[in-house]
Chains A and B, each alone.
Chain A
Amino acid sequence: MANPKKILNDPKKVVAEMIDGLVLANDGRVRKLPDHAAIVRTDLPDSKVALLIGGGSGHEPLFHGFVGRNMGDGAACGQVFAAPAPDIIYEAAKAVHRGKGILFLYGNYAGDNMNFDIAAEMLEDDGIDVRTVRVTDDVAAAPPERTHDRRGIAGDIYMIKIVGGAASELDTLDEVERVARKAVANVRSIGVAVAAGSIPETGKLTFELADDEIEIGMGAHGEAGVARQKMKSADAVADELLQKLLSDLPFKAGDEVALLINNLGATTMMEMLIVNRRIRQILEREGIKVHRSDVGTWLTVQEMAGFSVTLMRLDDELKHYLDMPAESLGYSRM
């Protein structure tokens, strides 16, 4: 298969040039740290619990597109698909800290875990209180008894939305951490891959999938899923994804949920809306009420085709934070 076409300058400079463009697209709401690949809000209140998010680049608008009012206070940006280095995280954390401690919120990957942990140890040496909540929403990555082995995928979006709201309203790091832990315990996602994406610097596709195949549960970097199958209809794919998703938490009749369908990059809105139609039929049949839904593009893998479905079970508190207004390049809600 031919390598993907990309409009770039120097492939080694994609992250630096992308961040420059991202800051400009924010119209003054965020700034880049002078010597590190990190961005922070320019309108940070003087006293608040800080929320630092981050991860590998290449998943735009995640993570650095989610910095703004009632969202992340700052983001540490790694190279494409690689966790940010500890000094980036450390400097970003120092820049967002407002005296009330910092919550680290990121997807559960070995590289992110180690680099954020090293940064947390450096900050603790400085006397700054840091807590860590890792997003573990991908049900395809490990069985329910091993949620700590599950990857973070599009559940990140609702997590940042909710914890961003909580970090704006709640006064202590303890309380913000409590809300984050409740939210992560109630969010589940599963994806389906249709075609691979590529890393700009290598120009190579990250995995191979035949023209007539899809893979249920494939991870955001091409990590193997639960089943490789022949192409099938939108309804059949939605049925399989929902069956795996609903049985996992499990979601039950009477639950209220938020539903997010995320485009991995190259899938059309038309396909996602057709899938959404079927998902809503299933949820209605199961007696699960959709409090709100989001269909769009938030966690991408370059030109990877496919999508993921996220459900979060809500109580009144989670609803409150999810429904707060938010303002960022990648996600805004009035």
Chain B
Amino acid sequence: MADTLDLKASTDMLRTVSRSVIDQTDVLTDADLAIGDGDHGIGMRRGFEGALESLDATPPDSIENALKAVGTAILSKTGGAAGAIFGTLFRAGSKPLAGRDRLDGEGFAAFLETGLEAVLKRGGVTEGQKTMIDAIAPAARAARTSSGEGLPATVAAAAAASLEGVEATKNMIATTGKARSLGERSLGHPDPGAISVSLILKAMQDFTAKA
């Protein structure tokens, strides 16, 4: 278990994340059918298929650009609210990695924090509205707390916090997005975007634990 990842390993991690989300398309589809229109899974699949293509076609020359390439692919291939949100997460989140040739716990926490800040601004939502924010915000806080313990521990803490966030969305009433009009009918169901966050972080956790 390495405490940091270099450019090649960081790029491999993003490939692994992409394949993991693509493999779990049906999980996201079913979650979205419960409180949305069921297109979240295929949207995320389009985005991460685009990310894989992009990473293979133009191998990134920096960790910042690797994250940005994933964000750009999601932004242009996923479409919908998910494309704008997850694309913004990776594109904006890449910025604090500028000039760094290794991804460490501190850099990973900064990735989540900066990405979160941009997503909050773009979406005009706050925590507690039953969105992916409810997974990414606790993940960013947990990552910051653990950021001095090496990358694997930082990512593991973020992944665990995001899962708790997914659970918490079950008890929230959607007040934004297409699920908003469901009102109390959205209770009991987790938010599909929050699940996507947890899948991404889980794949990162598994990768960094073995790297």
User: Cβ of B37 and Cβ of A111 under 8 Å apart?
Assistant: no
Asked whether A56 is an interface residue with its Cβ less than 8 Å from the other chain, the reply is: yes
Q: Give the residues in chain A near B176, CB-CB below 8 Å.
A: 110
Q: Report how far A204 CA is from B83 CA in the complex, Å.
A: 21
Q: Give the residues in chain B near A191, CB-CB below 8 Å.
A: none
Asked whether B85 is an interface residue with its Cβ less than 8 Å from the other chain, the reply is: yes
Q: Looking at chain B's contact residues, is the secondary structure mostly helix, strand, loop, or mixed?
A: helix
Q: Report how far A176 CA is from B182 CA in the complex, Å.
A: 35
Q: Give the residues in chain A near B183, CB-CB below 8 Å.
A: 224
Q: Report how far A125 CA is from B42 CA in the complex, Å.
A: 32
Q: Choose, from B51-59, B73-81, B106-114, B164-172, the stretch at the interface.
A: B73-81
Q: Choose, from A18-26, A84-92, A182-190, A237-245, the stretch at the interface.
A: A84-92
Q: Give the residues in chain B near A288, CB-CB below 8 Å.
A: none
- Range of interface residues on chain B? 20 to 34
User: Cβ of A111 and Cβ of B80 under 8 Å apart?
Assistant: yes
Known: A219-B178, A223-B182. A79 touches B84 (CB 8 A): no
Asked whether B19 is an interface residue with its Cβ less than 8 Å from the other chain, the reply is: no
User: Cβ of B123 and Cβ of A80 under 8 Å apart?
Assistant: no
Q: Give the residues in chain A near B100, CB-CB below 8 Å.
A: none
Known: A79-B46, A204-B29. A111 touches B82 (CB 8 A): yes
Known: A78-B80, A83-B80. A109 touches B75 (CB 8 A): no
Name A137-180 residues within 8 Å CB distance of B: 140-141, 149
User: Cβ of A110 and Cβ of B123 under 8 Å apart?
Assistant: yes
Asked whether A235 is an interface residue with its Cβ less than 8 Å from the other chain, the reply is: no
Q: Report how far A162 CA is from B183 CA in the complex, Å.
A: 34
Asked whether A225 is an interface residue with its Cβ less than 8 Å from the other chain, the reply is: yes
Q: Give the residues in chain B near A204, CB-CB below 8 Å.
A: 29, 33, 38
Q: Give the residues in chain B near A202, CB-CB below 8 Å.
A: 29, 33, 38-39, 41-42
Q: Give the residues in chain A near B84, CB-CB below 8 Å.
A: 83, 86, 111, 114-115, 118
- 1/0 per residue, CB under 8 A from B, across A217-243: the answer is 001011111000000000000000000
Residues on A facing B (Cβ under 8 Å): 56, 78-88, 109-111, 114-115, 117-118, 140-141, 149, 199, 201-202, 204, 206-207, 219, 221-225
For this complex, 8 residue pairs linking A to B, each with C-beta atoms less than 8 Å apart, are: A56-B80, A79-B79, A82-B82, A87-B76, A201-B42, A202-B38, A221-B37, A223-B179
